[in-house]
Every structure is written in C-alpha cells, then in structure tokens.
C-alpha cells in the first residue's frame, strides 16, 4: 500500500477510534459527573500531576524516536520496552514512599492510598506502549481502534457501577486501572509480540539521545499543565479543583479528539517525508489550516453555548465551572498552531530546539501562575490564555527555520481561516448579551437555537469568502478515493 493510501486509511481508522473513544468517554463522564460530587473529582485532580510525570519519565521519549527511525528492528523495540518497564517500576515505588508527604501538603489524608493505588497505572502503561508504537510506525490504526474502544467501554461500565455503589473517587481510580489492564492484554494478543529482555547499549544510546530532550520538555509541560489543580487545591478548595478539572476535561474533549486523530497519522507521515522540505511544508500547511478551521469553529461555538451545555448535560451543580470553561476554550483555538509547529522540530530531529522552546514557554507560564495565583482562578486561567499566545510566536519562530513558513504567512492563513467563525461568534454574542434572546428558553432549546444560528452564519460566510479551508475540504472529498491527499510520495 502506498504512503498516501496508508495515510488516508490511518486518518479514517484513527478518526473512528478517536470519535468512538471520545463519545464513550463523554457519555461515561456525564454519568459520573451526576453520580460523583465535585469534591471527589477534585481529589483525583490534585494527584494527576504525579501520574503525568510518571508516564513521561517511564517512556523517556524513546517511543517517539522509534516512530521517527527509518527501520527499527526487534532489538530497538525490545530495548526501549525493557527500559520503560524498569523505570516505571522504580517510579511506582518512589510515589508509594512519598504519598504521605503529598497528603500532608494538601492536608488531605485520603490522598495517601489514592496515590499508591492510582500510580499502578504507570506500570500498566509501560506494558503496552511499545506494542502501540509498533502499530503507529506501521500506520496500522485499525488494531488500535479495536483495542481502545472495548477498553473504554468496559472500564466506563466499571466506573459507573462503582460510582452508583457510592465508591466516590475510587470509582475513577479503578476505572483507569481496568482500562490499562484491558489495553495491555488486547495489544499483546493483537501484535503477538513478546519482547526480548536484553538491552542493546548502542540502540539505547541512539534512542535516549533523541528522546531524553522530548522527555524533559514533556515533563515540564505536564507539570505546568497539571500544576493548576495542584495550586487551586492548595490555595482554594477541593470543590474548585473539581470545577476546574471538569471545565478542562470538557475543553480537552474536542481538542484531543481532533488533534490525536491527526497527530497519530501526521507525525509518522511527516517523519517519512522529513527530507523533502517543499512537500513537508505543503502537507503541514494543509493540516494546519484544516485543524484550525475545525477547532476554532468548535471552540467559539462552545463558548457561546457553555451555560446551557453545562446545565443540560451535567446539572446546575456544575454551573460555577462555566467561566473557567469559556476561557480555557480560547487556548484550544491556539492549539493547532502550537502543536504542529513543534512537530516540525521533532521530525527534523532537532529535539534540542524543542526542549529550548518548551523551557521558554513553561517558564513564562510559571511566572504567570506566580503573578496571578493570589487574585483568583479567573486570572490564573487568563495567564494560560496569554501563555498560549506566547507559545504561538515561539513555535512559529523555530519551525520557520526549517520549512520557511514565516509569521506573516501563518498569520494570514490563520486569520482567513478563523475570520468567518469570529464574525459569527460576535453576531450571536451581541444578540445574547444585549438583546437577551435566550431568556425564555430552556437549556435544550438554547443549545439548538444558538448552535443552529452559529453554523448557518458560519457556513454562509465561508461560501461568501471562498476560504481556503472550504477549498481544502472540497479537495479532500474529491481526492480521498484516489489516495492523493498529501501529494506525490
């Protein structure tokens, strides 16, 4: 199968996996939000940072190196698997030992047992990450879908049952453990790959030298990303952590679905054309415009419907999370520009620049937290929005050195892509805020009316302006059957 056909097949299967998994997860989270109090979600939110650090350290970025490699062999995969498992095992015991001190920091005694049990997920994840990496390298996403969807369904049922039986936060913990165990079993059965426990030192050195910079960047990003629940839990309350994590999760749902769908295919695809800068830029430009078109549309619509959405799906007890959610959606608009510019550095092997970029962005975010923490949660989230914009500038600067896609060109493409959505947003926001047109409707009708008006205006404007995003979508619909989405191989 040609590279183009593999890419198109990969996008299709990945979309099915991401759409299916997020749909299942969305339904599960809605049910859990009605069964579990915000304070219980807040407890888990306080410790997510440790799990995030553990997963970053256990992989050490070497799975990304395997995907980028030209021809990784059995020794490559086995070496990385053995190192990942060893590190994850050591990390588990570190978290087991320091759990009481973390509980003391938060003044939440229940966290000791939660950390010790939830950290098992780090070990479980190390057991299937290389099997998943092998499938990704081969652009085989059909098997990944067959593993992911049943795992989410089974673990979701487990979580709902335990929540119904009043297990509280433990329902969330056991749900993640069941998900990891099922994925491990399924990936082993699908790939039939048994790792060799021997470690090849030269292979280890090769992948470590590429991956450790990604790991350091990933750890910093995950710490900063997850430090918000930690800071909110320390300075405010568990309930506020629950509101923030729920708002963040709702924002991440469309962002992660779309970005993961593309990124799982895009990264290995770009890695295969990394030496052809012209083709690399052309493929990147299409991905950038399409992902920005989709995410800017969704994020702007979610800001408009946030209040009825939370009221209808989660219940009125979650309405305090609405302003958090609306501000976080703004960061989702910037996500494609930040994500895919940084991918250029990875496929070019410049993980040193990737790390440098991550250091700058995360330092500015920490400074933002320090400056705003005493003023409330809204200023904290505004610091995230500003930091996302700073990240855009930094990412474009570095990526431009390799694909010649400068600020002005990216800005023009982004502005033209997002302009119809911004106009649609402004019109409907004016009607809602100044004419209060939704005052006599229930939550469900508000969702239908606002969503329908927004999409009608948006689509009309895209046709009126004849935007490139619309042309790219039309072109893809014509070329998908021919397997020509990314040009010549």
Q: Tell me if 83 is assigned to some domain.
A: yes
Domain match, 279 and 412 both: yes
Contact 427, 454 (CB under 8 A): no
Alpha-carbon distance values, 445 to 310, 429, 475 (Å): 14, 16, 35
Alpha-carbon distance values, 419 to 290, 301, 425 (Å): 14, 14, 10
Against a cut of 0.75, is the pTM above it?
Answer: no
Residue 413's H or E segment, with its range, is helix 407-435
pLDDT tens, position by position, 179-210: 989 988 888 887 777 777 777 777 777 767 66
Question: How much is the average pLDDT of 441-453?
Answer: 87
**Counted domains in the chain:** 2
> Is a pLDDT exceeding 90 seen at residue 301?
yes
Q: Tell me if 247 is assigned to some domain.
A: no
Domain match, 190 and 92 both: yes
In this structure, what token pair is assigned to residue 476? Answer: 């893809």
pLDDT at 302: 93
H helices of 273-376, where? 277-313, 322-347, 351-372
Alpha-carbon distance values, 146 to 25, 103, 143 (Å): 16, 38, 5
Domain match, 287 and 189 both: no
Contact 227, 50 (CB under 8 A): no
Contact 343, 266 (CB under 8 A): yes
* Domain boundary pick from 164, 195, 212: 212
Domain match, 187 and 309 both: no
pLDDT at 274: 66
* Domain boundary pick from 161, 179, 212: 212
Question: How much is the average pLDDT of 325-338?
Answer: 86
| pLDDT more than 70, % of the chain | 82
Domain match, 365 and 486 both: yes
Question: How much is the average pLDDT of 46-60?
Answer: 70
| pLDDT more than 90, % of the chain | 14
Domain match, 102 and 191 both: yes
Domain match, 203 and 278 both: no
For residues 388 and 488, which has the higher predicted lDDT (pLDDT)?
A: 388
Contact 428, 304 (CB under 8 A): yes
**Contacts of residue 435, Cβ cutoff 8 Å, sequence gap at least 6:** none
Domain match, 280 and 176 both: no
* Domain boundary pick from 212, 228, 247: 212
In this structure, what token pair is assigned to residue 104? Answer: 């003391």
pLDDT at 391: 86
Domain match, 175 and 293 both: no
């Amino acid at each position: 199968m040609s590279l183009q056909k593999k890419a198109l097949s990969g996008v299709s299967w990945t979309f099915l996996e991401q759409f299916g998994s997020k749909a299942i997860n969305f339904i599960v989270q809605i049910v859990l939000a009605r069964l579990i109090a915000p304070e219980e979600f807040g407890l888990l939110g306080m410790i997510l940072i440790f799990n995030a650090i553990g997963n970053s350290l256990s992989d050490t970025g070497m799975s990304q190196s395997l995907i980028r490699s030209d021809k990784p062999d059995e020794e490559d995969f086995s070496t990385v698997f053995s190192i990942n498992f060893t590190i994850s095992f050591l990390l588990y015991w570190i978290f087991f030992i320091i759990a009481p001190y973390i509980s003391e920091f938060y003044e939440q005694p229940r966290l000791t047992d939660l950390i010790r049990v939830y950290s098992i997920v780090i070990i479980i994840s190390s057991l299937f990450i290389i099997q998943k990496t092998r499938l990704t390298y081969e652009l085989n996403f059909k098997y990944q879908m067959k593993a992911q969807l049943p795992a989410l369904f089974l673990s979701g049922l487990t979580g709902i049952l335990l929540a119904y039986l009043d297990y509280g936060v433990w329902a969330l913990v056991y749900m993640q453990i069941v998900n990891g165990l099922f994925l491990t079993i399924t990936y082993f059965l699908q790939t039939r790959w048994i790792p060799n426990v021997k470690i090849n030192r030269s292979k280890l050195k090769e992948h470590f030298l590429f991956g450790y910079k990604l790991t350091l960047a990933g750890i910093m990003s995950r710490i900063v990303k997850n430090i918000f629940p930690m800071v909110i839990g320390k300075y405010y309350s568990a309930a506020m952590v629950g509101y923030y994590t729920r708002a963040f999760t709702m924002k991440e749902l469309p962002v992660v679905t779309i970005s993961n769908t593309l990124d799982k295919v895009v990264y290995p695809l770009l890695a295969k054309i990394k030496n052809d800068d012209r083709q690399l830029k052309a493929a990147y430009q299409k991905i950038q415009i399409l992902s920005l078109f989709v995410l800017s549309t969704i994020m702007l619509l979610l800001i408009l419907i946030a209040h009825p959405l939370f009221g209808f799906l989660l219940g009125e007890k979650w309405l305090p999370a609405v302003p958090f959610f609306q501000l976080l959606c703004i960061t989702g608009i910037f996500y494609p520009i930040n994500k895919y510019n940084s991918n250029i550095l990875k496929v070019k092997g410049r993980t040193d620049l990737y790390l440098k970029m991550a250091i700058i962005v995360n330092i500015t975010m920490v400074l933002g937290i320090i400056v705003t923490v005493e003023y409330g949660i809204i200023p904290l989230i505004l610091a995230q929005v500003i930091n996302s914009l700073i990240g855009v500038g930094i990412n474009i600067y570095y990526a431009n050195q390799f694909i010649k896609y400068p600020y002005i060109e990216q800005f023009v493409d982004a502005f033209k892509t997002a302009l119809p959505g911004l106009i649609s947003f402004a019109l409907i926001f004016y009607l809602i805020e100044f004419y209060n047109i939704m005052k006599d409707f229930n939550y469900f009708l508000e969702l239908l009316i606002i969503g329908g008006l927004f999409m009608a205006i948006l689509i009309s404007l895209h046709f009126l302006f004849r935007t490139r995003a619309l042309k790219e979508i039309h072109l893809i619909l014509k070329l998908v059957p021919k397997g020509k989405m990314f040009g010549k191989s």
